[in-house]
């Protein structure tokens, strides 16, 4: 065991200046005993500070539709779940939500939905260009898979960024969990987004049933290979409305290690302390912010719709209004000795001119 601890220290020391960790080195860190994992978090925190500074970027999350034509096995809003009420915000409601976010001080919003056939690329483009005409918000879309032409339409309307998690790097596990999607298509979409000039975010869940340490290490290496601008990682939280209700779910320690390793590998990417992390542990987001994360995405969806957008159980902030969350998160960030950024928080890779 002593050797292993020394190895963990040696790998962390190297990672302070060099993000080229091998799969074996990643596995040593992932497998190191919990009582010795603080060094990994501290190293990621130091790399975060050096690469992206002390500012935390906020993105206001607008969950604009919980309709979904897909049936991902883990997800509470999968199309076949008959136990939830469905809703869709109309254009005016989405615009008002965006305006509210801007008035609360957000410089950026994420528009997230299931794969809702109502929101075609044209419909989304109209909404995005309207928000752009009325605000100075950076807009991130998170609405699933489209064709190249459709992503182009959405980009040309003014979307700056796109989030599309690959969920797992194992093709076999991907197939099991996604009855109506292909891993290769997911990769294709990520390449299209990048070609079109979007700032691209992807990521995965930690602790999916069937995930092994090797798969988790490959997830992290895939993040690095994709050269992402943003990487979102959160624990899988079993939803009682799905066939995975009885599964174990991701642990806090493994999720934090994944966030920390993503920071060590991706260096200056934006990495959120995800809502799933905060739902697993009351201090989950704070712990993630101290283990490599530099972004938080507080919910700005009007309160009456929040209950209906539950991908996973025990989601935080369900009964809190957007103004409350904005204050709450600012307090938490300041409590960690960090500051809330008042910039758009664009990709640092663009600033570095690549």
- Return d(Cα 142, Cα 65) in angstroms, integer: 11
Q: Is residue 144 close enough to count as binding ligand SF4 by CB under 6 A?
A: yes
Interface of this chain with ligand 5AD, residues 264 to 303, rule: CB under 6 A: 276
Give, as ranges, the residues between 248 and 307 that touch ligand FES (CB under 6 A).
298
Angle at CA of residue 36, ends 32 and 39, nearest 5°: 105
Span of 63-71, 222-230, 247-255, 285-293 interacting with ligand SF4 by CB under 6 A: 63-71
Which of 47, 72, 208, 256 touches ligand SF4 (CB under 6 A)? 72
Report what 32 binds from ligand SF4, ligand FES, ligand 5AD, none; CB cut-off 5-8 Å by kind: none
For 74, the 3-state DSSP assignment is: coil
Q: Is the backbone of residue 75 left (phi > 0), alpha (psi -120 to 50) or beta?
A: beta
Cα-based distances in Å from 32 to 27, 256, 281: 8, 13, 21
Per-residue binding letters, 54-93, with ligand 5AD (x by CB under 6 A): --------------------xx------------------
- Binding status of residue 205 toward ligand 5AD by CB under 6 A: yes
- The residue behind tokens 């690095």 is 224
Which of ligand FES, ligand SF4, ligand 5AD, none does residue 298 bind (CB under 5 to 8 Å by kind)? ligand FES
Nearby residues of 95 by Cβ (< 8 Å), 6 or more positions away:
127, 130, 131, 134
CA distance 101 to 300: 7
Q: Is 310 in the site for ligand 5AD (CB under 6 A)?
A: no
Of residues 106 and 204, the one with the C-beta less far from ligand 5AD: 204
Q: Of ligand SF4, ligand 5AD, ligand FES, none, which one sits near residue 70, judging by CB under 5 to 8 A according to partner kind?
A: ligand SF4
- Dihedral of CA 59/60/65/66: which sign? positive
Interacting partner of 333 out of ligand 5AD, ligand FES, ligand SF4, none (Cβ under 5 to 8 A depending on kind): none
Residue 236 and residue 215: Cα distance in Å, rounded?
14
The answer to whether residues 152 and 196 touch, using CB atoms and an 8 Å cutoff, is yes
Q: Does 5 bind ligand FES (CB under 6 A)?
A: no
Q: With binding defined as CB under 6 A, does residue 115 bind ligand SF4?
A: yes
What is 222-247 written as a DSSP string?
HHHHTT-SEEEEEE----TTSTTTTS
Task: List residues near ligand FES by CB under 6 A.
Answer: 298, 317, 320, 324-325, 328-329
Task: List residues near ligand 5AD by CB under 6 A.
Answer: 74-75, 165, 167, 205, 234, 236-237, 239, 276, 311-312
């Amino acid at each position: 065991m002593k050797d292993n601890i020394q190895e963990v220290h040696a790998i962390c020391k190297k990672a302070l200046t060099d993000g080229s960790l091998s799969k074996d080195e990643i596995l040593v860190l992932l497998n190191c005993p919990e009582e010795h994992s603080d060094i990994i978090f501290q190293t990621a925190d130091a790399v975060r500070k050096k690469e992206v500074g002390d500012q935390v970027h906020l993105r206001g999350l607008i969950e604009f539709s919980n309709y979904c034509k897909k049936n991902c096995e883990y997800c509470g809003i999968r199309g076949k779940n008959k136990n939830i009420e469905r809703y869709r915000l109309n254009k005016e409601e989405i615009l008002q939500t965006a305006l509210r976010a801007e008035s609360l001080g957000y410089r950026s919003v994420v528009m997230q939905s299931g794969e809702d056939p109502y929101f075609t690329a044209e419909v989304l483009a109209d909404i995005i260009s309207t928000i752009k005409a009325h605000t100075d918000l950076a807009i991130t879309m998170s609405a699933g898979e489209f064709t190249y032409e459709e992503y182009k339409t959405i980009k040309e309307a003014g979307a700056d960024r796109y989030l599309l998690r690959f969920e797992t790097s194992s093709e076999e596990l991907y197939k099991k969990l996604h009855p109506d999607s292909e891993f290769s298509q997911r990769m294709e979409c990520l390449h299209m987004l990048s070609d079109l000039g979007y700032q691209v975010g992807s990521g995965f869940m930690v602790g999916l049933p069937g995930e092994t340490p090797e798969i988790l290490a490959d997830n992290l290496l895939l993040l690095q290979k994709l050269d992402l601008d943003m990487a979102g990682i959160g624990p899988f939280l079993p939803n009682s409305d799905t066939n995975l209700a009885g599964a174990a779910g991701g642990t806090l320690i493994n999720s934090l290690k994944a966030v920390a390793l993503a920071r060590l590998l991706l260096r200056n990417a934006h990495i959120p302390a995800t809502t799933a992390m905060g739902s697993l542990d009351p201090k989950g987001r704070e712990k993630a912010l101290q283990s490599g994360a530099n972004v938080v995405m507080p919910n700005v969806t009007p309160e009456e719709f929040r209950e209906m957008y539950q991908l996973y159980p025990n989601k935080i902030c369900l009964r809190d209004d957007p103004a409350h969350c904005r204050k709450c998160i600012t307090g938490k960030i300041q409590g960690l000795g960090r500051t809330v950024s008042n910039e758009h928080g664009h990709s640092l890779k663009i600033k570095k001119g690549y």
